[in-house]
C-alpha cells in the first residue's frame, strides 16, 4: 500500500501538468538529442537516428516543433534524409502554414521533391476546398498537373470543372498513360455539370481516338444520376437555327463529330442554303462526312456541292467525301484529279489511303484488294 501512494501521486502530478508544457519538455529533450547527433563523427552513419528523431519531433505537431524542423529541411547537411523530414511534416502538421510554404518552395519543375510537395498541396486544397490553387496548377502545370487539378475540381464540384475539362479534351498534345492522364478523368470531372454542354463534351470524348475501353466505366459513373441515359437526348437541334452564326457553325461542326444522325436533314439544308454564312455551310458539309447511315446517298449530295460557286464549299465537300470512306466517295475524289481541285483531291486520297503522293490512284481504285467500308 505504501508503494502505491507515491505512484498515484506521480500520476496525479503528471496529469496536472498542461499538455503544452509536456510537449515543450519533450521537444527540449529531442533538441538536445539532435545536438548530440550533430557532434558525433561519421554523420552518414547517424542517418537512421536522425530520421527517428525527426518523426519524434514532427509527431508533436506544435508550432515550436515545426519551427525547429522546417529549417533543418533546408540545411544541405541533412539533404540525405530531407525527403523523410518532408513526409513527417506532411503527415503530422498538414495544416501548418510554415509547412505549406515549405512545400510551395518545392514546386519548381525540376525540383526532386516536386511530386511529394504537389501531393501535399493537392490534398490540402481538397480539404480546404481551395479551388484557386487547383486552377493555378491547371493553368501553369505540366500535363500530369492539369489532369490532377481537373480531378480535384471535379471532386469539389467546381463550376470551373466543365470549362477545364473542355480545354483538356481539345488539347491534342497529350497521350493516355494511366488512369489519371485519360479520357476517363475528363469524364469523371463533369459529373455535376449535367446538361447540353457537358453532354456535348462526353459525346465528342467517346469519339476521341484516345478514348479507351477502361474510360467507359468513368463515363458511365459520371452520368449514372443524370436524367437521360442517352446523351443525345440533351442535344438541341434548334441550335442549328440559332440567330448567332457562330453558334450555328459550332453546332454544325459538333453534330458531325458526335455522329448525331438526326441532324442529317438540317445539316443538308444548311450546306445547300446559299444565303447562309460561308463558314456555317462549310461546317455542315464537313459534318455530313462523319455520318454513318446511308453514306451512298451522302456521296450524291456532296458531289452536288463540288459545283458550288464558293471555292471554300468545294473544298469542304472534298473533306466531307474523304471522311465517308466509301468506294463511291473514293471514285469521286479520283475523278477530280488533273482538274481544278487536283491538289485538294490528292491530299484527301493520301489521308484516306495512307499511301504516298505518287500513287497511281486509278490503279489503286481498281485493285481487287481495295478496302474501304462500303456505305448503304
Whether 188 and 298 map to the same domain: the answer is no
Q: Is residue 10 part of a domain?
A: no
Whether 203 and 248 map to the same domain: the answer is no
Domain limits at 220? 129-225
Tracing cell 453546332 back to the chain, one arrives at: 251
Whether 268 and 334 map to the same domain: the answer is yes
Q: Is residue 168 part of a domain?
A: yes
Whether 347 and 252 map to the same domain: the answer is yes
Q: List the CATH number of the domain containing 329.
A: 1.25.10.10
**Strand (E) positions, the chain?**
none
Taking 70 as the pLDDT cut, the residues of the chain under it are: 1-23, 41-45, 368-376
Residue 16's pLDDT is 45
Residue 40's region, left for phi above 0, alpha for psi from -120 to 50, else beta, is beta
Q: How many domains does the chain have?
A: 3
Query: What are the pLDDT digits (tens) for 61-105?
Result: 899 999 999 999 999 989 999 999 999 999 999 999 999 999 999
Q: Which stretch of DSSP H or E encloses residue 163?
A: helix 161-170
Residue 203's pLDDT is 96
Closest CA to 164 of 256, 178, 145, 239: 145
Residue 42's pLDDT is 60
Task: Report residue 113 as a C-alpha cell.
Answer: 521533391
Q: Is residue 372 part of a domain?
A: no
| Helix 295-305 with 311-324: angle, nearest 10 deg | 160
Q: Which stretch of DSSP H or E encloses residue 35?
A: helix 19-39
| 14-25 exposure pattern, b = at least 16 Cβ within 10 A, e = fewer | eeeeeeeeeeee
Residue 17's pLDDT is 46
Residue 14's pLDDT is 47
Q: Is residue 9 part of a domain?
A: no
Please identify, among 117, 152, 168, the residue that sits at the C-terminal boundary of a domain. Answer: 117
Query: How far is residue 59's CA from residue 204's CA, in Å, rounded to a whole number?
Result: 49
Whether 167 and 135 map to the same domain: the answer is yes
Q: Is residue 237 part of a domain?
A: no
Please identify, among 200, 225, 250, the residue that sits at the C-terminal boundary of a domain. Answer: 225
Q: Is residue 123 part of a domain?
A: no
Whether 157 and 264 map to the same domain: the answer is no
Tracing cell 464558293 back to the chain, one arrives at: 310
Whether 178 and 249 map to the same domain: the answer is no
Whether 67 and 168 map to the same domain: the answer is no
Whether 64 and 141 map to the same domain: the answer is no
Query: How far is residue 184's CA from residue 103's CA, in Å, rounded to a whole number?
Result: 29
Task: Report residue 345 as a C-alpha cell.
Answer: 483531291
CA 176 to chain centre: 10
Please identify, among 67, 97, 117, the residue that sits at the C-terminal boundary of a domain. Answer: 117
Closest CA to 89 of 62, 58, 63: 58
Residue 310's pLDDT is 94
Query: What are the pLDDT digits (tens) for 193-244?
Result: 999 999 999 999 999 999 999 999 999 999 999 999 999 999 989 999 999 9
The answer to whether residues 174 and 143 touch, using CB atoms and an 8 Å cutoff, is: yes
Whether 217 and 268 map to the same domain: the answer is no
Whether 248 and 197 map to the same domain: the answer is no
Task: Report residue 219 as a C-alpha cell.
Answer: 463515363
3 state SS for 259-309? CCHHHHHHHHHHHHCCCCCHHHHHHHHHHHCCCCCCHHHHHHHHHHHCCCC
Residue 325's pLDDT is 86
Q: Is residue 297 part of a domain?
A: yes
Q: Is residue 122 part of a domain?
A: no
Amino acid at each position: 500500500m505504501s508503494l502505491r501512494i507515491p505512484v498515484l501521486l506521480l500520476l496525479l502530478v503528471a496529469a496536472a501538468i498542461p499538455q503544452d508544457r509536456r510537449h515543450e519538455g519533450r521537444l527540449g529533450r529531442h533538441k538536445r538529442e539532435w545536438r548530440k547527433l550533430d557532434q558525433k563523427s561519421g554523420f552518414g552513419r547517424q542517418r537512421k537516428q536522425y530520421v527517428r528523431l525527426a518523426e519524434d519531433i514532427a509527431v508533436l505537431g506544435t508550432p515550436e516543433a515545426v519551427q525547429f524542423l522546417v529549417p533543418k529541411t533546408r540545411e544541405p547537411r541533412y539533404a540525405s534524409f530531407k525527403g523523410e523530414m518532408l513526409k513527417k511534416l506532411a503527415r503530422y502538421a498538414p495544416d501548418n502554414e510554415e509547412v505549406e510554404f515549405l512545400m510551395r518552395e518545392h514546386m519548381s519543375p525540376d525540383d526532386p521533391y516536386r511530386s511529394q510537395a504537389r501531393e501535399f498541396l493537392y490534398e490540402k486544397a481538397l480539404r480546404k476546398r481551395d479551388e484557386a490553387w487547383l486552377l493555378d496548377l491547371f493553368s501553369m502545370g505540366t500535363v500530369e498537373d492539369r489532369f490532377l487539378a481537373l480531378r480535384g475540381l471535379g471532386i469539389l464540384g467546381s463550376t470551373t470543372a466543365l470549362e477545364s475539362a473542355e480545354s483538356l479534351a481539345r488539347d491534342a498534345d497529350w497521350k493516355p498513360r494511366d488512369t489519371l492522364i485519360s479520357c476517363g478523368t475528363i469524364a469523371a470531372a463533369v459529373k455535376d455539370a449535367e446538361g447540353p454542354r457537358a453532354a456535348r463534351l462526353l459525346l465528342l470524348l467517346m469519339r476521341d481516338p484516345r478514348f479507351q475501353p477502361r474510360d467507359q466505366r468513368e463515363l458511365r459513373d459520371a452520368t449514372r444520376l443524370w436524367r437521360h441515359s442517352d446523351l443525345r437526348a440533351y442535344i438541341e437541334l434548334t441550335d442549328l437555327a440559332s440567330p448567332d452564326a457562330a453558334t450555328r457553325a459550332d453546332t454544325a461542326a459538333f453534330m458531325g463529330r458526335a455522329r448525331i444522325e438526326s441532324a442529317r436533314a438540317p445539316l443538308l439544308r444548311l450546306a445547300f442554303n446559299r444565303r447562309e454564312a460561308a463558314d456555317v455551310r462549310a461546317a455542315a458539309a464537313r459534318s455530313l462526312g462523319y455520318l454513318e447511315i446511308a453514306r451512298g446517298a451522302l456521296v450524291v449530295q456532296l458531289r452536288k456541292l463540288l459545283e458550288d460557286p464558293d471555292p471554300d464549299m468545294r473544298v469542304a465537300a472534298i473533306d466531307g467525301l474523304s471522311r465517308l470512306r466509301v468506294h463511291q466517295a473514293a471514285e469521286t475524289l479520283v475523278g477530280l484529279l488533273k482538274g481544278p481541285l487536283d491538289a485538294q483531291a490528292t491530299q484527301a486520297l493520301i489521308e484516306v489511303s495512307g499511301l504516298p503522293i505518287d500513287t497511281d490512284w486509278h490503279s489503286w481504285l481498281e485493285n481487287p484488294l481495295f478496302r474501304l467500308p462500303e456505305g448503304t
